Each structure stands twice: as structure tokens, then as C-alpha cells.
């Protein structure tokens, strides 16, 4: 696996990263019931 260095000063989603990185648990989950009957 290769890793890529991100220049945080040029990263377009820096504000998003900083927002979620400030959380104790920076993960999001979603569950939904979906009716697939025809």
C-alpha cells in the first residue's frame, strides 16, 4: 500500500478535515429502511 502526502495548506477539504478531526469520535454512520418491492 502506498501513502500520499497531503499538503494541508493546499488541501481543498482542509476545513472539513479540521471540523471532524476535532471530535472525540470523528466517524459518521447512517442506517435506513429501504422498500425495494415492486
Residue from 18, 35, 37 nearest 26 by CA: 18
**CB neighbour class for 7 (10 Å; exposed up to 12, middle 13-18, buried from 19):** exposed
Task: State pTM to two decimals.
Answer: 0.53
Q: What digits encode the pLDDT tens for the residues 1-38? A: 899 999 999 999 999 999 989 999 988 899 999 999 98
**Separation between Cα atoms, residue 23 and residue 17, nearest integer Å:** 10
Amino acid at each position: 500500500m502506498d501513502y500520499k502526502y497531503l499538503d494541508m495548506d493546499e488541501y481543498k477539504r482542509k476545513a472539513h478535515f479540521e471540523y471532524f478531526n476535532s471530535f472525540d469520535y470523528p466517524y459518521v454512520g447512517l442506517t435506513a429502511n429501504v422498500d425495494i418491492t415492486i
